[in-house]
Every structure is written in C-alpha cells, then in structure tokens.
Amino acid sequence: MPLINLPAFSAELLADFESLGTLRVDTPVIQPAEPFLAMAGEDLRRRIFMTESETGESLCLRPEFTIPVCLRHIETATGTPKRYAYLGEVFRQRREGGNEFYQAGIEDLGDTDTAASDARAVGNAMRVVANRLPGRRLSVTLGDQAVFEAVVGACGLPGGWQKRLIHAFGDPKHLQKLLAELADPKAAGVFGPEVERLAIAGMLDDEARLVAHIGETMEATGYSTNASRSPQDIARRLKEKMELANTRLDPETLDLVREFLALDMPLAEAPAALFRFAEKSGLTLDGALSRFDARVAALAAVGADVSVIRYRAAFGRPLDYYTGLVFEVEAEGTPAVLAGGGRFDRLLTLLGAKEHIPAVGFSLWLDRIEAAIAASGGAA
C-alpha cells in the first residue's frame, strides 16, 4: 500500500492542538471491525476495508478515529475529563482523492458542561481551520439531533417509528420517504405475507399463543434458537411490524414535523424561532430548547463568530452515534467540508464503558484543507 505524504502544515496543527490543552494519542491502523459495523452508520460501513485475523476475527483498516480513541480510553481506564488529539491515516473507499488520507481532530471526553464543551468543539474547529486559511471567510452549518428527537417524541409516535425517524436524521430522502409512509402507511406495502397470515389467525393479539406457534414452527423445521433470535424476539418483531404498518400520523402533525425540518436561519435567530415553533405546535420541547439556548450563549462566550454559523433543523451527519450537536465547517470558495463533528454521549457506554461518559469532538480533512491552501495560492 503506497504511503501518502503527510501535509506540510501538520507540525503547526499539532502545536495548535497542544495549545488547546489536548493529549496526543495514536491508535493501531488495524482495528476490530465489529464496533464500526455496529455503530458507525451505513455510509461508513459501505466504505470500510475489511480483513480477517488468523483466528477468524473480522478486522478493518482504521476508517476514522473517534471509535478507536474511545476504545483506547476505556481500555486504559483513564479518568475524565480528558481531551485527546490525533493525527494519522484513515482508510475509506471514496469517490474523490483516493482511499487513504490523513485526518486529525480532538475528542473531548467526560466534561459534564454540555453547552461549554459543545461550544469549545465548534470554536476549536473554526480556529484550527482559520489558522490554516487566514483571511478566508468560514461558514458553519449546525444541527441538533436532540431537538429533532424531542420533536418526534412529543408527536406521540410509537417507539418503533421514533427509532426509524431518528435513525434517518441527516438523510433527507430517507426521512421524507418515512414521512410519506406515515401519511399513507398502506401505500408503503409494509405488511409481509407471514404477518398478514398471523393477523388473520388472531395470533398477533395473543402473545403467548404467538410465541408458542413460533416455537413449534422452529422446532418442526429444525431452526435452532441458539444461532438465531428466540421465539419471544421474533414475536415482538412481528408485533412491531404490525404496529408500524398500522400507525398513521394525522395531517396536522405531519405538517408540523415538515415545518420543523424546513427551519433554516442564522444561528442567532434560531432560539427565538424554535421557541415560536414549540409555542405554535403545542409540543413540549423545553429541555431540548433550553440546552440549545445554552449552547448559543456559550458559543458567544468563547468568542466564536456566531455570524458565520447557520442552523438547519434537518441537518445531520451520516454516523449513527451522534446524539445532539452536529456541525460542519467550510471555507469560502471551497466546495468540500473541511471539518465536522458533534456530540456522541451514548457511544462510550455502547463500547463497554462502565459509567456514562459524555463526549463531543471533531475531525479535520487534511487533504481537503491542503487543497484549499493550494487553491488560494498559499504554501501548504
């Protein structure tokens, strides 16, 4: 595998990271594949380079740093709060710029002041990009998955539908498809023949009878429960399918969800606009909106240029582990995203941490920054 050149500005970037109070860490290039396959989202899963160990364990070339840095933190039993910085190669199948490139970033683990640490992440990302591209106007797109989750939850949808919509956040086409299904569920053809047959037999309303029927069927066909889901798991899934297929959201509520997703404005105007939306819709969003307000105030407090930040209610990033803030940084005249990140409060627990560890971070696309420097006539 040919080596690519480390960007010339890397030493200065690491000095920037050190001045921000971070500890530089590195992680192995070969990583266990399972955490990425389970937690990183379809967009990343499709681009991973897979391999296998001598014992048959699924491995992959490191596609990003957030999961490896979190795993390292858990394995070393390091206390929090901790701010880690990294710089190294990552490997993904990409449409532009080759399949191996350098990425750098900061992961901020364990700070319980959500607003302050969110603001620090956005402000730091803006600062390190601005230091590489002096004189270039930045633009930042900011979204908040927690606010979207609050809107979906307040609409009173069943848990299965809430999960589906939240999973689709940041994928506009998929999200609109799901909303269309909620408007007219029969048009989506959700019912499978087995679900329909069991519904006609009246088993979906009698869980004990349904579980017994599934167990008998599995035993008769030699379908081992040791290598698959149990009859109880299958019964729950069948009932969930029926519930999803039978759910229809009234037109007024669907219009509210779509109105929310259409919100797009300068960040300074967003708190008032979100409050007006909540008041008009009658949805209880107090907790999510107070956290949003606190973050906007914290951004101003850390000196971030709020005038270049735009809030888009439908904006998300294609990684499944984000839970709140999401953002991306671009520079004027540059077509590609140069930095991006967000909050991932559930990730460390899912990776095996014994206690809840709040977390936020961002990564920098160094090849794109290098290209932007070159395009502006500067020396990388």
DSSP states of 297-361: HHHHHTT--GGGEEEETT---S-TT--SEEEEEEETT--S--EEEEE-TTHHHHTT-SS---EEE
DSSP run (H or E) holding 183: helix 172-183
DSSP run (H or E) holding 107: strand 100-109
Residue 193: per-residue pLDDT = 54
Residue 192: per-residue pLDDT = 52
**Burial call 163-202: b when 16+ CB within 10 Å, e when fewer:** ebbbebbbbeeebeebbebbbebeeeeebeeebeebbeee
Distances in Å between the Cα of 49 and the Cα atoms of 29, 37, 40, 58, 62 are 11, 11, 14, 11, 8
Residue 375: per-residue pLDDT = 86
**Among 136-150, 239-253, 256-270, 347-361, whose mean pLDDT is lowest?**
239-253
User: Is 322 annotated as a binding-site member?
Assistant: yes
Is the pLDDT at 200 greater than 50? The verdict is: no
Residue that wins the pLDDT comparison between 360 and 46: 360
DSSP run (H or E) holding 129: helix 114-132
User: Is 321 annotated as a binding-site member?
Assistant: yes
pLDDT tens track for 252-295: 888 999 999 999 999 999 999 999 999 999 999 999 999 999 99
* Mean pLDDT confidence for 74-84: 92
Residue 47: per-residue pLDDT = 85
* Mean pLDDT confidence for 46-51: 88
Q: How high is the mean pLDDT of the chain?
A: 86
User: Is cis: bond before 318, omega within 30 of 0?
Assistant: no
Residue 240: per-residue pLDDT = 61
Residue 233: per-residue pLDDT = 73
With tokens 């690491």, the residue in question is: 14
Distances in Å between the Cα of 103 and the Cα atoms of 37, 217, 242 are 20, 51, 44
pLDDT tens track for 288-324: 999 999 999 999 999 999 999 999 999 998 788 899 9
DSSP state of 139: E
- CA-derived radius of gyration, the chain: 23
User: Is 65 annotated as a binding-site member?
Assistant: yes
* Mean pLDDT confidence for 173-201: 64
Is the pLDDT at 186 greater than 60? The verdict is: no
Question: What type of residue is 191?
Answer: F
Longest CA–CA span in the chain (Å) reads 73
Distance CA 54, CA 178 (A): 42
Task: Report residue 121: phi and psi, to 5°.
Answer: -65, -50
Residue 194: per-residue pLDDT = 55
Residue 250: per-residue pLDDT = 79
User: For the purposes of burial, counting CB atoms within 10 Å of the CB of 53, is it exposed (0-12), middle (13-18) or buried (19 or more)?
Assistant: exposed
Residue 236: per-residue pLDDT = 66
Residue 153: per-residue pLDDT = 92
pLDDT over 70 for what percent of the chain? 84
How many C-beta neighbours within 10 Å does residue 224 have?
9
Is the pLDDT at 112 greater than 80? The verdict is: yes
Distance CA 299, CA 120 (A): 7
Q: How confident is the model at residue 78 (pLDDT cuts 50, 70, 90)?
A: confident
Residue 238: per-residue pLDDT = 63
Residue 254: per-residue pLDDT = 87
Residue 235: per-residue pLDDT = 66
User: Is 103 annotated as a binding-site member?
Assistant: yes
User: Is 209 annotated as a binding-site member?
Assistant: no
Distance CA 201, CA 214 (A): 13
User: Is 260 annotated as a binding-site member?
Assistant: no
* Mean pLDDT confidence for 183-206: 53
Bridge partners, 340 (sequence order): 328, 363
User: Is 223 annotated as a binding-site member?
Assistant: no
Is the pLDDT at 95 greater than 80? The verdict is: no
Is the pLDDT at 54 greater than 60? The verdict is: yes
DSSP state of 269: G
How many C-beta neighbours within 10 Å does residue 159 have?
10
* Mean pLDDT confidence for 80-89: 96
Residue 365: per-residue pLDDT = 95
Is the pLDDT at 185 greater than 90? The verdict is: no
Is pTM beyond 0.85? Reply is no
User: Which of 187, 153, 141 shows the shortest CA–CA distance to 257?
Assistant: 153
Residue 259: per-residue pLDDT = 95
Is the pLDDT at 226 greater than 90? The verdict is: no
Residue 42: per-residue pLDDT = 74
Task: Look at the alpha carbons of 35, 40, 41, 42 in this order and tell me if their dihedral is positive or negative.
Answer: negative
